[in-house]
Structure formats: structure tokens, C-alpha cells
Structure 1
Amino acid sequence: MPAYILSTGAYRPRVQQPNHALTERFFLKRGNKIHQKATVDILEKFTAVTEIRERSIALPEVSASRMGYLAAEEAIERGGVDREAIDYIIVAHNWGDVSTKHNFQDTLPNLAARIKSKLGIRNPRCVAYDILFGCPGWLEGVRQVDLLIRSGEARYVLVVGTDTVSRVVEEYDVDSLLFSDGAGAALMAASASPNTGVLASATRSHCLEELDYLRMGRSFSDRKYLDGLYLKMQGRQVFKYALREVPAVITACLEKAEVDLRDVRYFIMHQANAKMIKAIASRLFAQHGIANYPEDVLPINVYTKGNNSVATIPTLLHEVIDRAHNQRGIERGDLVVFASVGAGMHVNAMIHRF
């Protein structure tokens, strides 16, 4: 039987950082100081383009593994499963635990092992491993869960996405405004029917000229030259790649599952920025001969959460299930398409029937 999302959990950091609180920040772009406009004008343009008004930031004492543990704990409690019966814990992240004092990345022991320890799981047959796959990491973990459960290798699997992206971007970079912190988790089990759970999935990796669209690089400021590496992005190239590849991989899933686009209840996309999410949806529907997509099929939370990397999809799913976006939530029989894109470059998609 296919894998089925039994329950979810999420951790939203307590600190909300609105754009208007950053008016004293000094921005650089590609190493050049931005003199042409006042910071207020830069922030207004950023808000207009991305529709991100604020972002969630973890407190200094809260690590990625801590956030992941809290999200996992909620998923286990909601799922009503004995934690000692969990066969695998798969944790997607990109930087490990990062201190606020510096941005050096701590990945040993791996985050899945840390989360298993925090959960107090003693069973040595519960295997805990990490995935480093850019923003699509959590969804790729879910794809692996489906293979594990279909093969009979596992009954229950916990898949977690957690990142403190705010600690690997630099305050001098305009692109830093996109990113935030957060964690989401899903507990998965075998579906009771071959017609529910994961119906189809697909992943593509383009790693030639696309390799450096998102990368770690030196600071734009000489003052922070020795402080480590920071997330750098070729925003225009990422946008063009996502607009081309995400609709294609979703369509591949629809065809594989023999599902009509019109029958999908929700499209839960990676929350990179609202402009990109809406452009992808418009392109997808246009390719299927539909002029406009219904707004209620495309929940978006990046307006106030920001882009927290691997955590965007599981946290948004958790919100939709909890009726945070409408009173309907997710009902039995609903078809949900998940899709993500990120560093590598990688793109993936999945269709799940609840």
C-alpha cells in the first residue's frame, strides 16, 4: 500500500520581524552599496514584488533540531502512535544547527539523531538519518517514505523539515529579506487503500549551469569577510527555472496518477515568494487550457512566515489541515498536489489523496 499522511505538526518561531522594523538596515547587492534609494524605498519595493510583509525568526536559544523536535512531538501526539513503533525518522535541513553568534554549521551528530534523542525513543531499530536536498528536501523525504512503506520496510515513519535560514543570510544582502525560520513534520503510515495516500511523485535534478543559482558564498561586506559563508542567490535565474520546471514536474505527476488538474483541491507549493507561487500556478493552469486558477486552491502563508526552506510545505499543510486558511480544511477524498524547487537545482512534486 502507498504511504499516507497520518498527522502533522509544526513549530512557528515566536518572533515576527516586520519589514518596517528594518529601516535602519544597510543593504548591499552583489558587493555594491545601494545608494540610489533610501532603505524605506527598498523595503517598499521588496514588499510589492514578493508580498512578504514579515517573517518568523527563532529565538537565539532555539536551534533547528529543537524546532524539528517540537514539530515532531506534535505530529506524534496527533497521530496517536506509540513512538517506539516508529521505524524511521527522516529529517530534511540544509545547514544543521546554526548559532546566532556565528553561522558555522553543526551537523554532527546528525539532526535526525538529535531529534530522536529529544523524543526519548530507545528502539535501536528506529533509524534516524538526514536529507540535504535544498528546499525540496522535506518533499523528497516523503517520497522516500512512500518507497519504504510500499516495500514493507517500514510501518511508521516520521519526516521532518527544519531550518534556521535567518542565520545563514547576511543583513547586508537584500535577498536576506526573503528568508525565515521554522519546522514542520508529518507522521506517515501505510494507507488502508491503494487509492489513497501517495498516488504519484517525481523529482528532477538540473546540476550543470543551474548549479550556482543558490549557493553559499562570502559576505558582501569586508567587515564580515572572515565570518563564514552566506546564502547567495541568482534570483532572476531561480525564478525562470521554477516557472519552467515546476509546472512540468506537476504535470508529469498528474499524468502518472491519471488525475485531471480540475480535480485537485489544493496546490501546496514551496513558499519562496508570493509572486513566484502565483506565476507557477498561472503557468500550470494555462498549460492545461484553463485561463485562471481558483484562488482557494492555492493557500499561501509566505506573506507573514517568509521562506523557511524545507519547512514551508509541511507547515503550510499543517495550517490547511487546521483550517487556518479557510473553514473547510482538508476532507476525506481530497486530492492535494505538493511541489517544491530549490538549490541544486532540484524540483519535485507529489499527489496525495486524503
Structure 2
Amino acid sequence: MGIAITGIGSYIPEGVAPNKTFENHHFLNEDGSEFQHNNEVIIEKFKAITGISERRYIKDKITTSDIAFYAAEKAIEDAKLDRETLDYIIVAHNYGDVKYGSQQSDTVPSIASRVKHMLKIKNPYCVGYDVLFGCPGWVEGMIQANAFIKSGIAKRCLVIGAEALSRVVDQHDRDSMIYSDGAGATIVENTSKDSGILSHKSATFAYDEAHFIYFGESNNQEITDARRYIKMYGRKIYNFALSNVPEAMKNCLDESGATINDLKKVFIHQANEKMDEAIIKRFYKLYNKEAPEHVMPMSINKLGNSSVATVPTLYDMVVKKQLDNHRVNKGDIIMFASVGAGMNINAITYRV
């Protein structure tokens, strides 16, 4: 018996924005001052650090709830289930529905209620709610679904991670090149198979770290409207992640009963290629091991950082054999892990 993923689906937007898209942007420092380097150098350094060469953006006419619905439909189809039998719809996001050109986020009704409406589910006891947990939101939604099913109050949950970060970026901030859009969804239920969630670990660091990622004004001091944009202290986040994520991952793996030698893949939030590589290296170092060459699938180079959507979309790609050199097989021990605004960290040890 295990609480496992029985269906998975994702939505990768059609709009491709290569790095050259930003060649004519007017990037400024936080205080509004000019950079010493031209955009060609800025973009080159950005690519070297983050690994991102392009990212995906949604079309103007759709929103976060739309792409959450698209991913949900695919997960339901993959699981071959009657959608009326869903007990919970848990949607992880951070910014709600921001329509193209709008200055305001729309979160009423919840994204989960909107998805349920679009799925045309009539059952009133299929409960929908949203999770605001930074980039680790989908992983946390999985942990909550596991708790619901384990306690007996639910049998089957739909967990979605969806975000349209292109709607909340400051075009004058070079960090805007990191962010992208996407959605991933999973059906989680009790199965008779020897697979599923073996252990999980979550943590919130808010004493000094709560505002490492925040909503702030444009770097362009001449813009005086009330709109706010996603902002972050990149160096602080990098140091925080390297200091705390590997240990949380180790605690999660140790509680599962599996060993580091059992671990086949780590699906980590696609935040920054250099940071993710450093996290994995430190994680294995805690066991006095070198990280295996293909243990960490990466999609950030082509898809960018879509926040809550990076882990489920990455897992979907590997499950469906869409990523070179990466496969998961029945019985494999894998890990999902994430870090993000809050500052929140979480991890799941999972048997495929």
C-alpha cells in the first residue's frame, strides 16, 4: 500500500523568449542607477550563472487558472479516473490571476475554485483551495494531500502547481530574465502498489529570512504608479539555500529508511543552475559521496524558473521520456525538493 502519483500532466506555454529578447531592455540597479556593462555582457553573465538560454510565456488572453486547468485535464486523463471522485483540488501559486496589462491580481474566487469550475465537477464535496508557499508550493501541496489520504478524510486528490511570472516582473530588473510561466498537475491516491511517499520534511525560516523575496517598486525611479513587482535578494537566497536545503534533504532521506545509494534522481526546483548544482554537491557531501553524473534532471535552460511549476513539469518530462539521459523506473527511489519565498524549504522521498 502506498500514497502515490497515479496521473501526471503539464502545460508548457508555446511562447518562447530567448535571451536575445532582452537585448533592448533598459536594465537598472535597484537604486535606479545605470549598469557599467551593456546588455550583451549582462545577458552573457546571466546565462553563465543561471543556465537559462530561453523561457516560456503564456499568451496574452490566458491566465494562471487557465494553465492550471490545462495541466489538470492531462493529469486526470493520464490517471483514467472519474473527476467527480476527486476529494480535493489543491492549487499552489503565488500571484493569482493577473490579466495581461493589469496592475491587480485576482484571487477571488480561488484558483482552485476556478479550476474546479472549468473541469465541470458537480460534486460539492470535492473541496478546492489554494496554497501560498513560495516556489515549494506544489511539493507542499503533495505533502498535504498525503496527510489527507493518510488520515482517511480523502481518497484522491488533484495537486497543481501553476504560475505566470511574466505578469509580475519588472522589465527594468535584470532578474526578470529568470522567470517564466508553466503548470504541472498530479493525481495522488491510495494504491495497492508498493510505491508512493516514504517521507517528507518542511521548514519555514522567517526570523531573518522572511523578506528575501518580496513585492517591490520598479528599478526605474521615473515610474510612479502603484504597481509592484517580484523582487529578490539573490546573493542572500543563494547563501541561504546552500546552508539549509542540503540538510533538510538529508533529514528527509534519512527518515525514509532509504540510503543515499538508493537515490536515483533528485527533482529539485529549477531556480538557478549554479545554485542547484551546489545544493546537490553539498547534499551528497553530507554522506561523504560525490553526486552521480545524471542524478539531477534540469529543464531551466529551456523553460526558465516557473516557480511552483518547475518540479511537476520536470517530473512529467522525465516520466514521459522527454529529457535526454533521464529515466525513472518502477521501484526507483527519487526525491522532490524545493526552496523559495517565505523562506520555505521542503522535500519528499518517493518510491516510483
TM over 0.5: yes
How much does 1:328 deviate?
Answer: 6.1
Name the residue aligned to 1:43.
43
Is 2:76–2:187's contact at 8 Å kept on the other side of the alignment? yes
Alignment partner, residue 147 of structure 2? 147
1:229 aligns with 2:204: no
Looking at structure 2, the residues matched to 35 and 144 of structure 1 have their Cα atoms a distance apart, in angstroms, of: 44
1:302-335 per-residue CA deviation (whole Å, 9 max, x = no partner) reads 0010000100001001001011123662211011
How far off its partner does 1:222 sit?
3.0
Asked if 2 retains the 8 angstrom alpha-carbon contact of 1:3 and 1:145, the reply is: no
Q: Give ranges in structure 2 of 5+ residues lacking alignment.
A: none
Indicate yes or no: 2:61 matched with 1:61. Answer: yes
Question: Is 2:116 the counterpart of 1:119?
Answer: no
Which residue number in structure 2 is paired with residue 311 of structure 1?
Answer: 309
Match of 1:279 in 2: 278
TM-score scaled by structure 1? 0.97
Aligned residue identity for 1:40:
E
Superposed CA offset, 1:221-267 (max 9, x none) = 13433141111100001011111111111111111112111211110
Partner of 2:261: 262
Single out whichever of 250-259 and 319-328 deviates more from structure 2.
319-328
**In 2, Cα distance between the equivalents of 1:225 and 1:271?**
33
Question: What displacement does 1:273 show?
Answer: 1.1
Q: Is 2:249 the partner of 1:240?
A: no
Alignment partner of 1:343 is 2:341: yes
Q: Tell me, what secondary structure is at the counterpart of 1:222?
A: coil
Provide the rounded CA distance (Å) in 1 between the counterparts of 2:211 and 2:315: 29
CA contact (8 A) 1:138 1:161 kept: yes
- Per-residue deviation, 1:341: 0.3
Partner of 1:100: 100
The answer on whether the counterparts of 2:294 and 2:326 sit within 8 Å (CA) in structure 1 is no
Paired AA for residue 225 in structure 2: L
Q: Structure 1 residue 30: deviation in Å? A: 1.2
Whole-angstrom distance in 2 between the partners of 1:249 and 1:185: 24
Structure 2: distance between partners of 1:241 and 1:103? 31
Unaligned runs of 5+ in 1: none
Q: Distance in 2 between matches of 1:114 and 1:35?
A: 42
Aligned match of 2:4: 4
C-alpha RMSD of the superposition: 1.2
**What is the deviation of 1:29?**
1.9
Cα distance per residue 1:255-289 (max 9 Å; x no partner): 11121112111100000011111010011111110
Which string of whole-angstrom CA distances, capped at 9 and with x for unpartnered residues, describes residues 182-203 of structure 1?
000001110325x521000010
CA distance 1:347–1:59, change in 2 (3 Å): same
CA distance in 1, matches of 2:41, 2:149: 51
1:330 maps to 328
Partner of 1:78: 78
Query: 1:159-178, aligned counterparts within 5 Å?
Result: 159-178=159-178
Residue 211 of structure 2 aligns with an amino acid whose one-letter code is D
Q: Give the CA deviation at 1:34.
A: 2.7
The answer for the alignment partner of 1:302 in structure 2 is 300
The answer as to whether partners of 2:6 and 2:189 remain within 8 angstroms in 1 is: yes
Q: Distance in 1 between matches of 2:21 and 2:173?
A: 16
SS in 2 for 1:159: strand
SS of structure 2 residue aligned to 1:16: strand
Query: Size of the alignment, in residue pairs?
Result: 352
In the alignment, the residues of structure 2 paired with residue 234 and residue 171 of structure 1 have an alpha-carbon distance, to the nearest angstrom, of 17
Q: Is this contact kept in 2: 1:134–1:343, CA < 8 A?
A: yes
- Take 2:273 and 2:326, find their aligned partners in 1: how far apart are those partners? 22
Q: Distance in 1 between matches of 2:293 and 2:271?
A: 18
TM-superposed deviation, 1:33 = 2.7
Moved more, 195-204 or 343-352: 195-204
Q: Tell me, in whole angstroms, the C-alpha distance in 2 between the residues paired with 1:161 and 1:18.
A: 24
The aligned counterpart of 2:209 is 210
Instruction: Return the letter of the residue paired with 2:80.
Output: G
Identity %: 39
TM-score by length of 2: 0.98
Alpha-carbon distance between aligned partners in 1 of 2:74 and 2:293, rounded to the nearest angstrom: 29
Partner of 2:25, secondary structure, is coil
